[in-house]
Structure 1
């Protein structure tokens, strides 16, 4: 199991200057290594459908990879002595970031999905650096000891869990200060009980309510971004009037960043509290495997991003695993259309918020009906005659289905 704990740092003024210097040097190194790869790609690629019969073929260059660029760091330190102050593994991690960004553009991730063309980091856009290896006793009292930085005061608001090993430490600069994120790993393998009707709950995510359980309990959407929208607009207008490069613009930019950070922190706190409330019931949690990015391309993008479904499901999966439970993703097709009592399809539009089955006479909320169907699919229980039979077998975790926003609303 892998999890992350984030703590706030209270560095001294000299440590702040040092870490800011590291970020600026790492940003330049990132841009330089990315330029090497992009130049290689531009000089060695050829459009087959538009290649002339007679053309000059330039001398092919070796493709820069993660190993060759790491070996070249020796020349970088010899030519620019300021890079010697940065820890060697932190510099190597910068090369690995370039490698991942470039490969995700050309090859794609493990699911085959390709990212956009990697961009150069502007001033202030490189905000974190990572120590791939740290000592297990790096935290001593109120301080965390990091190589070439020294002891930094740490606000340890919660202790590290027993049995977890510290793998990496990432220093991040945010609008309100500095933070350290410790990546922890537990070698023990959790044992999960089989999912049954008795030990599983189903939740349906939505915008009318943040989620509705199979028992009818609903959680309202807080809409933190929409509440802060007027203040953000006022701060953004004030920023647009400032002259670029001035100190007043930097202060206005800091105010905008802090306002956005407050919204993000409120949303994350809400997600943690809801996830903890669900996990405290001691049951497996079933949810729809929605393509949130596809749905967010519609006119509901602002509301969907404000709700933060993706972040909540990630938090829920981690919390459930730590409690010895499972977060089960099911196929979302027809969960709102099918009746949870008789299994017959009852067509609805996106505006129909009430489920009224003409076949069996079931009357309940649309999201409540969908949550019950999600629960039945998670345990492998047939919807037809669901109340008359029981199921105690072990089922495999359903595959994640991906749909576009239009398909999702057409099927919902």
Structure 2
């Protein structure tokens, strides 16, 4: 299994200046290679038989590919000798990033969706570079890691690396509060997902929301921390101070750092909360959740609250931790989980303002989020009650027998 471990770096002033120079050179190389692809697209996107009668047909050129652009890197080093200071594989990875961003725009994914047109990187917008191959598996000795052409860089090894791992890639990232190292490891000790089918005993259901961050099928509730809402007043004040500063001045640069640090603190608090909540859930077994359209909800009038909750990041962390523990996360169809009774399967209409589930058919009384979490759990395990939803012709004795089972 591929794992990612992140550590904080403590580079020297010379190493920090060298990495800053690398980022600037890679940013220019990224923009140049992206411009090559844009130029080819503008000249060759129109077919010859679809051109107007009077038009200029430029000389057709070969479509720039990752291999052709990587083969042209020695020419860039000959014209600009400063690129010789950058590790060769780091430059090649920069070209791969261009191809990935360009292909996401030109080609559609498996769902038929295309990403937006990639943009050129402004100054300070290129924040990381990757060593795609770390051949020396013993590059970490004590509190130092040996990076090609950079040397031994001090890192804070706050947690040990797993035994028997195989180091794949290393990414250096510049954030507003310093430099970080992300190691991609291949750990063979991680167990595989058990083939046992999910049951009501080894699976819990969670209903994520905005009033409560989540409610489990056992009735446990986790309150939404709302870190952004709590920091909004301070963020507004810092943003007002930033808007008054003159562009290009040193005071504006300092104000930008203050705003960035405030946003980073909110992001770190939210991520820490997601990790701790996911750790508590996987101790109870497999986790079933709704397969929500989070991107669509993030564009609605609830955008601020949805983004503050960070459902997408939480579900990603949850699935990663479950796979690492030999468990699984089960997404289910969210249609009707709130309206359907989890005891008898009948539909009980509710509005958003109705926070209590009261079934007139079987008399079940409980919170609507708790009822939805039970429905999610039952759908994940294929409980028979879910097959009876809305079927009023079913005999009451049979429905009651299914509900009790």
Q: TM-score range by the shorter chain?
A: over 0.9
How far has the Cα of 1:126 moved from its partner? 0.3
**Correspondence for 1:208:** 211
Equivalent residues in 2 for 1:5-404, closer than 5 Å: 5-46=5-46, 51-134=51-134, 135-187=136-188, 190-192=192-194, 193-281=196-284, 283-383=285-385, 384=388, 385=399, 386-389=402-405
Gaps of 5+ in 1: 390-412
- Equivalent pairs counted in the alignment come to 388
Gaps of 5+ in 2: 389-398
**Correspondence for 1:396:** none
Distance in 2 (alpha carbons) for counterparts of 1:165 and 1:330: 35
Distance in 1 (alpha carbons) for counterparts of 2:363 and 2:164: 53
Q: Is the 8 A contact 2:210 2:306 kept in 1?
A: yes
How far has the Cα of 1:5 moved from its partner? 0.8
Distance in 2 (alpha carbons) for counterparts of 1:387 and 1:346: 16
**Correspondence for 1:408:** none
Comparing 354-363 with 22-31, which one deviates more in the overlay? Answer: 354-363
Distance in 1 (alpha carbons) for counterparts of 2:349 and 2:47: 49
TM-score by length of 2: 0.93
Distance in 2 (alpha carbons) for counterparts of 1:164 and 1:371: 38
Go from structure 1 to structure 2 and tell me whether the alpha carbon gap of 1:196 and 1:233 turns closer, same or farther (over 3 Å shift): same
Q: Is the 8 A contact 2:162 2:187 kept in 1?
A: no
Q: CA RMSD in A?
A: 1.5
Distance in 2 (alpha carbons) for counterparts of 1:163 and 1:109: 35
1:305-359 deviations in whole A, cap 9, x for unaligned? 0000000011111111111111111111111111100101111122211111111
TM-score by length of 1: 0.91
SS in structure 1 of the partner of residue 100 of structure 2: helix
How far has the Cα of 1:262 moved from its partner? 0.3
Distance in 2 (alpha carbons) for counterparts of 1:162 and 1:382: 45
Distance in 1 (alpha carbons) for counterparts of 2:383 and 2:2: 31
